[in-house]
């Protein structure tokens, strides 16, 4: 299956929090959108690896994803080395995405920055035909995505561009809430964590409102592109309409 967008992140729920509405928007447009979770988040304080995989599957249905896979890399011990790059290259070549969405290059959780760099490097290396890979016994062809965009996660980073996600913001919030083990639940007896605080999802909502306001819409999601993106014409730019 060829995907138009492949979103890759280190933990289940990373992509819902940072890009869930954008993924849902493109899926709603009829494009093939998929997700790869690098780990099962097994070192997270709340929940279990098995539960988090099930929650990720539930969120995938909500967002309308064509596919979601988990590579089973080690939570918190993932590194940007040859072995991890080669494993990820196999899946980039498998799905041949035009666009890849990745973790932030710097963030509160050290896994996010490590993974953001790993994903970007693997996307480049996947285009080198002299790097040979096989998947399920088949020799793979080289493939390099046209664009790699990084999410804004916990720490705010000035975006390169903002996507209008007004129509799919509520889908994003529903997908986030599919992770019942991770977020605020007054009936839970599990330890309180940074993301399980009562106001955490309010902050997600507030950021979406703030980013939307900057482009003259209700809700927005911001992304960072290390290479300056081009446009076909000036008409491609959405600017706030002043009354």
Provide the total of helices (H) and of strands (E) in the chain, helices listed first. Answer: 6, 9
Q: Give yes or no for a contact between 130 and 178, defined as CB atoms under 8 angstroms apart.
A: no
pLDDT of residue 243: 55
What's the CA gap between 181 and 188, in Å, rounded? 8
Q: What is the pTM of this model?
A: 0.95
Secondary structure of residue 52 in the 3-state scheme? helix
Bridge partners (DSSP) of residue 70 are: 37
Domain ranges for the chain:
5-228
pLDDT reported for residue 239:
73
pLDDT block averages, 10 residues each, the chain of length 243: 97 98 98 98 94 97 98 97 98 98 96 98 98 97 98 96 97 97 88 92 97 95 93 83 61
pLDDT for the residue 189: 87
Contact 51, 93 (CB under 8 A): no
Query: Which of 6, 151, 152, 31 lies closest to 89 in space, CA to CA?
Result: 6
Residue 139's Cβ-side half-sphere holds a number of Cα atoms within 13 Å equal to: 4
Confirm if 60 and 24 have CB atoms less than 8 A apart: no
| Region for residue 13 given its phi and psi (left: phi exceeds 0; alpha: psi -120 to 50; beta: otherwise) | left
Choices 3.40.50.800, 3.40.50.10320, 3.50.50.60, 3.30.70.20: CATH for 5-228:
3.40.50.10320
CA distance 38 to 149: 17
Whole-number Å distance between alpha carbons of 210 and 219: 7
Output the DSSP codes for 179-209: -TTTS--TT--SPP-TTTSTTHHHHHHHHHH
């Amino acid at each position: 299956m060829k995907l138009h967008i492949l979103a890759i992140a280190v933990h289940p729920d990373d992509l819902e929090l940072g890009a869930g509405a954008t993924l849902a928007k493109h899926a709603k447009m009829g494009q093939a959108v998929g997700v790869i979770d690098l780990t099962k988040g097994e070192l997270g304080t709340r929940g279990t690896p098995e539960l988090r995989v099930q929650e990720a599957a539930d969120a995938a249905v909500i967002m309308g994803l064509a596919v979601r896979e988990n590579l089973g890399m080690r939570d918190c011990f993932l590194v940007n080395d040859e072995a991890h790059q080669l494993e990820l290259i196999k899946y980039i070549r498998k799905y041949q995405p035009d666009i890849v969405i990745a973790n932030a290059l710097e963030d509160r959780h050290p896994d996010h920055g490590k993974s953001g760099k790993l994903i970007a490097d693997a996307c480049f290396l996947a285009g080198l035909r002299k790097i040979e890979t096989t998947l399920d016994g088949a020799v793979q062809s080289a493939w390099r995505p046209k664009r790699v965009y990084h999410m804004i996660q916990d720490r705010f980073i000035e975006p390169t561009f903002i996507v209008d996600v007004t129509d799919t913001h509520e889908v994003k919030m529903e997908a986030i809430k599919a992770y019942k083990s991770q977020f605020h639940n007054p009936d839970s007896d599990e330890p309180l964590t940074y993301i399980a605080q009562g106001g955490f999802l309010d902050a997600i909502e507030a950021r979406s409102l703030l980013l939307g306001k900057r482009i003259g819409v209700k809700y927005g999601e911001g992304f960072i592109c290390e290479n300056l993106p081009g446009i076909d014409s000036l008409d491609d730019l959405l600017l706030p309409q002043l009354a």
